[in-house]
């Protein structure tokens, strides 16, 4: 697919919770006179909105931006060109964060930002197949240079696997019904387009449920997560990112659906808990938590941001700071 590099990424995308992300990361990156290079990893670069703001506000900062989507990297590159070598773009999935940091010449980082889920670019480009509201080829790959598409999954997965995908990644109560309907439909003709899949799901949905919600929403989410291995990547990426943070370094994570947020919450809880055995009268230094929480629960976008940027509506933001080095 030819990429249109004349588009203005700042017009295509409004960064979610931008000021709050900067506020949370700022204490880790404001000491620009220390002499040591400071670096933040934007693990989900997208079109570069968060990275641009960080580089503008903190003139000593370098940002390593990771993205698996080559088109996003091109657009972000145009947006960030004025920052020269302070903006380092890496074509990588975010569980490759340790390699990306090492290859960029760093051993520890001062901050990391994750803006999870599907990007505005992917949602807005109809031919990527992410949106059930637009008929398009069922691709759904964030990196279109490799891997199986959603159409491939629908064509080859047995009924049990389809049901498991819809249950686990979409939390879809009608997973079994939808899996059976897809198996029956693909026996007649391949399901290659989002419109076809929506029709199959609509036909398999009881009228009472159709009146309450769109039948395709959870199935499309589940297929996207499956195609891009999003949860397994996240389960590797968050621990790896936290391990890279120096003392005083901060992690900010924005999730957009409950499966992602649940894992982030669990990992942050694990890292902020004492490891002292129960009943020990005094907590030894080596048992103290490595991190402290910077947010109370998950923070939500306020009404003004939700009105200005509808994609902020489902966001759940969590942040933590390293307070003790485990090494």
Beta strand 245-255 with 316-322 is antiparallel
Q: Is there a single domain that holds both residue 314 and residue 248?
A: yes
Calpha distance 207→200 (Å, rounded) = 14
What is the pLDDT at residue 64? 98
What is the pLDDT at residue 74? 92
Counting as low any pLDDT under 70, the low residues of the chain are 1-13, 31-35, 118-130, 327
Residue 145 placed within a domain = yes
Residue 3 placed within a domain = no
Q: Report in angstroms the alpha-carbon separations of 173 from 11, 52, 114, 166, 218.
A: 38, 41, 29, 9, 10
Q: Is there a single domain that holds both residue 69 and residue 105?
A: yes
What is the pLDDT at residue 126? 56
Q: Is there a single domain that holds both residue 216 and residue 255?
A: no
Q: Phi/psi of residue 99, each to 5°?
A: -65, -45
* Residue at a domain's end among 168, 199, 228: 228
Q: Residue 143, exposed/middle/buried by CB under 10 A (0-12, 13-18, 19+)?
A: middle
What residue spans of 146-276 are helical by DSSP H?
A: 150-156, 159-170, 175-188, 194-204, 207-210, 216-228, 230-244, 258-271
* Residue at a domain's end among 172, 193, 228: 228
Q: What is the CATH number of the domain that holds 236?
A: 3.40.50.150
Calpha distance 119→61 (Å, rounded) = 24
- 154 contact partners, CB below 8 Å, separation of at least 6: 138, 162, 182, 186, 191, 197, 223
Residue 120 placed within a domain = no
Global pTM reads 0.88
Q: Which residues are annotated as a binding site?
A: 48-50, 67, 94, 115, 122
Q: What angle do CA 119, 244, 300 make, to 5 degrees?
A: 40
Q: What angle do CA 233, 293, 14 make, to 5 degrees?
A: 60
Q: Which domain holds residue 109?
A: 9-115+230-322
Q: Which residues are annotated as a binding site for S-adenosyl-L-methionine?
A: 48-50, 67, 94, 115, 122
Q: Is there a single domain that holds both residue 224 and residue 234?
A: no
Q: Is there a single domain that holds both residue 252 and residue 280?
A: yes
Q: How many CA atoms lie within 13 A of 273 on its CB side?
A: 10
Alpha-carbon torsion angle 270, 273, 279, 281, nearest 10 = 150
Q: Please give the span between the terminal C-alpha atoms of the chain, in angstroms, as a whole number.
A: 46
Give me the number of domains the chain comprises.
2
Per-residue buried b or exposed e for 185-224, using 16+ beta carbons within 10 Å of the residue's own CB = bbeeeebbebebbbebbeebbeeeeeeeebbbebbbbbbb
């Amino acid at each position: 697919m030819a990429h249109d590099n004349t588009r203005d990424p700042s017009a295509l995308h409004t960064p979610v919770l931008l000021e709050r992300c900067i506020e949370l990361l700022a204490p880790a990156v404001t000491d620009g006179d220390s002499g040591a290079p400071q670096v933040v990893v934007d693990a989900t670069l997208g079109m570069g909105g968060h990275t641009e703001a960080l580089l503008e506000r903190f003139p000593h900062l370098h940002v390593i931006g990771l993205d698996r989507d080559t088109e996003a990297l091109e657009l972000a590159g145009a947006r960030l060109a004025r920052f020269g070598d302070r903006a380092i773009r890496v074509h990588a999935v975010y569980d490759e964060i340790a390699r990306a940091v090492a290859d960029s010449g760093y051993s520890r980082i001062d901050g990391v930002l994750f803006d999870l889920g599907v990007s505005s670019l992917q949602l807005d480009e109809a031919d990527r197949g992410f949106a059930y509201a637009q008929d398009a080829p069922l691709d759904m790959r964030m990196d279109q240079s490799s891997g199986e598409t959603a159409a491939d999954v629908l064509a080859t997965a047995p009924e049990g696997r389809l049901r498991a995908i819809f249950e686990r990644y979409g939390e879809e109560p009608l997973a079994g019904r939808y899996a059976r309907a897809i198996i029956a439909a693909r026996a007649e003709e391949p399901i290659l387009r989002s419109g076809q899949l929506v029709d199959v799901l609509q036909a398999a949905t009881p009228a009472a449920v159709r009146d309450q919600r769109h039948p395709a929403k959870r199935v499309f989410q589940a297929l996207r997560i499956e195609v891009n291995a999003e949860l397994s990547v996240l389960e590797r990426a968050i621990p790896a990112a936290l391990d890279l943070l120096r003392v005083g370094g901060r992690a900010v994570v924005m999730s957009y659906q409950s499966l992602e947020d649940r894992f982030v919450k669990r990992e942050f809880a694990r890292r902020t808990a004492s490891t002292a055995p129960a009943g020990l009268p005094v907590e030894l230094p080596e048992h103290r938590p490595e991190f402290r929480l910077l947010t109370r629960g998950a923070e939500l976008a306020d009404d003004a941001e939700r009105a200005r940027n509808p994609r902020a509506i489902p966001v759940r933001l969590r942040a933590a700071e390293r307070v003790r080095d485990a090494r």
